[in-house]
Amino acid sequence: MIGTILMERYRLEEMIGEGGMASVYRALDLRTGHRVAVKFLRQELQANPEFLDRFRREATAASRMSHHNIVNLLDIGDNPNSPYLVFEFVDGKTLKDIIKEHGQLPQGTAVQIAIRILSALRHAHEAGVIHRDIKPQTILVDKQGYIKVSDFGIARMVGAHTSDMGETQSVMGSVHYFSPEQARGEMATFASDLYSVGCVLYEMLTGHVPFEGETQVSVAMQHVQAQAQPVRSFAPEVSEPIESVVKKAMEKVPESRYPSALLMAQALHDALLPQSDTSPVPVFEEGKKTKPRTRRRPRESLGTKIAVSLLSLVLIAGIFTGSYFIYRDIVNTTRTPLLTGFLLSSAMREAEREGIIIRVARNPSDEPVDTVIDQSIDVGQPIKRGDVLLLVVSSGHARKPVPSVVNLDLQEVKRTLERISLEVLVVKEMIHSAPKGTVLFQDPSEGTVVDAGSIVQLTISSGQAKVPQLSGFILAEARDALRKAKLEIGKVEEMAIADTSQVGRVASQLPVAGELVAENSPVDLVVYILQKTEATESPKNEGKP
């Protein structure tokens, strides 16, 4: 598949994911130059009407939506024998990966992620789409901290008149996150998605799922019958208002949960605010029974619209400010990798992938040269991307023979000797035909056994250049000639002359033409200038008769 070009536009580059239903490839859009994700239904499922229907449903659901917190559909494959969908490419990790890496997430970060999931669900619900499979595995976090809800493969469109059990003969959704009504095989509703968000938020705050069991059936039955342990019993630092939001979202009866994704997002937003003695006045109350139509109805409808708009603005503001916390606490934080025992080159590549800056200190040891023998931060400890990790690298045995460095470039010699903890000292430079910086002599000589930290004295070539003849050149011509000879213009002095034809030309030079000097040596010049003449005036006999 790699290298295949679809619709003369999408070139497949790499498989980036594979599940029970589909395989996902990263591809290059040859028209725009952007990366995209191409999702194929697995070959063995292409003849299965049930899975083909799911795939078509995902395309239908995705085509109804366009939102910054949803992985947006870009194109639909036109090959009936191998159906595929083209989505925007999200360069990052799943929320599940992040929870595995970090364990419990900071309260503010977890809430900000939940608000973004709810923002996506509000858009989906308004489009008549119920996700039915909200879980950390379907939430993507890109490298800039943006949250994207993905995988509407088992989504249901409101009004489709299909039951969950009738479609698959099994419960739809993931057992650790689906709602009690889904566990009973009943129709999923908007409230079912909110229950799943409650489960995801529970896991972010505590580091583990609400219910555990040896079998999927036992977990499903707990969703129906059992109450999850309070969030604060695992994470006492979580505030009571946040715990209350999680509890309400995970109510067994759908009607006891939040009426909408927007109101749950508002509740989370309010729960993060500093607490006071007076209860905050709700922006508006959704789900309230309306009175019979009267003349005042238009005004009430307008007020409700204004309230919804104001709430949306508040939540949008929270989304933008919350991006900082997601980036700081999740995207910009990683776990210190194991680098001890690896060669320095491999360790630096691994650190670069994690965004960690490496500093190196060298110590003698029995390990081979360039082997990492220690690191300043223990494996698995949190470290922010851009922070410095000190690696102690082996320079070999404490006593070692000096290698031959004659005829090598000085910079290469420094790298070679520093790797084995020997110091470099340039004691002399000589005019020589060898390229500038070439080592001509060394002390101690090759093979001499010295202690780590010993100094190797070097005599290096300063290069060799022949001074050109510059007399009679104008100054610009002289500068060009010196540059070509690998020399520089030095002091420029002036000599007055009456001959205007020589003005601006070189009168003499030092060093003289033909002399061999070091590269980049200065050549001093004397340049003719026009001699000044003093005007003579007859004396004035002012005041005399």
Residue 51 · residue 40 · CB < 8 Å = no
Lowest-confidence segment of 155-159, 174-178, 348-352, 395-399 by average pLDDT: 155-159
Tell me if the domain spanning 93-274+302-331 has CATH number 3.40.50.2000.
no
pLDDT tops 60 at residue 543:
no
pLDDT tops 90 at residue 142:
no
Q: pLDDT tens digits, residue range 182-202? A: 999 898 999 999 999 999 999
pLDDT tops 60 at residue 306:
no
Share the mean pLDDT of the chain. 83
- Please, which pLDDT band fits residue 68 given cuts at 50, 70 and 90? confident
Q: How far apart are CA 270 and CA 266, in angstroms?
A: 6
Q: How far apart are CA 260 and CA 266, in angstroms?
A: 10
Q: How far apart are CA 134 and CA 125, in angstroms?
A: 13
Residue 121 · residue 261 · CB < 8 Å = yes
Phi, psi for residue 45 in degrees, rounded to 5: -105, -5
Neighbours of 428 (CB within 10 A): 11
Could you give the percent of the chain with pLDDT greater than 70?
A: 83
Nearest one of 122, 192, 195, 104 to 156, comparing CA atoms: 192
Q: How far apart are CA 305 and CA 526, in angstroms?
A: 86
Average pLDDT (471-490) is 94
Average pLDDT (403-425) is 92
For residue 459, the Cα-to-chain-centroid distance in whole angstroms is: 46
Q: How far apart are CA 507 and CA 528, in angstroms?
A: 6
Token digits of residue 435: 């390229």
**Coil, strand, or helix at residue 535?**
coil
Residue 370 is among the residues annotated as catalytic for this protein = no
Kindly report, as residue ranges, where domains of CATH 3.30.10.20 are found in the chain.
Answer: 335-394, 399-461, 465-530
Average pLDDT (12-17) is 91
Please report the DSSP string for 442-499 in residue order.
EESPTT-EEETT-EEEEEEE---EEPPP-TT-BHHHHHHHHHHTT-EEEEEEEEEES-
pLDDT tops 90 at residue 436:
yes
Average pLDDT (84-105) is 91
Lowest-confidence segment of 188-197, 333-342, 397-406, 480-489 by average pLDDT: 333-342
**Coil, strand, or helix at residue 71?**
coil
Q: What is the CA radius of gyration of the chain?
A: 38
Kindly report, as residue ranges, where domains of CATH 3.30.200.20 are found in the chain.
Answer: 5-88
Token digits of residue 146: 């943006």
pLDDT tops 80 at residue 44:
no
Q: pLDDT tens digits, residue range 266-296? A: 899 889 887 644 344 343 334 433 343 433 4
Lowest-confidence segment of 10-24, 276-290, 377-391 by average pLDDT: 276-290
Residue 36 · residue 29 · CB < 8 Å = yes
Could you give the percent of the chain with pLDDT greater than 90?
A: 50
Residues ≥6 apart with Cβ < 8 Å to 493:
524, 525, 526, 527
Phi, psi for residue 438 in degrees, rounded to 5: -75, 135
**CATH C-level class of 335-394:** alpha beta
Nearest one of 363, 373, 374 to 397, comparing CA atoms: 363
DSSP structural state of residue 343: B
Kindly report, as residue ranges, where domains of CATH 1.10.510.10 are found in the chain.
Answer: 93-274+302-331
Phi, psi for residue 57 in degrees, rounded to 5: -65, -40
Terminal alpha carbon distance of the chain: 116
78 versus 220: which is more confidently predicted? 220
Q: How far apart are CA 260 and CA 300, in angstroms?
A: 20
Q: How far apart are CA 150 and CA 139, in angstroms?
A: 6
Q: pLDDT tens digits, residue range 485-518? A: 999 999 999 999 988 999 999 999 999 999 999 9
Nearest one of 167, 174, 150 to 85, comparing CA atoms: 150
Tell me if the domain spanning 5-88 has CATH number 3.80.10.10.
no
Identify the CATH number of the domain defined by range 399-461: 3.30.10.20
List the catalytic residue out of 97, 133, 270, 366. Answer: 133
From the candidate CATH numbers 3.40.50.720, 3.30.10.20, 3.40.1390.20, 3.30.1370.60, the one assigned to the domain spanning 465-530:
3.30.10.20
Token digits of residue 359: 């500093």
Lowest-confidence segment of 135-149, 282-296, 378-392, 415-429 by average pLDDT: 282-296
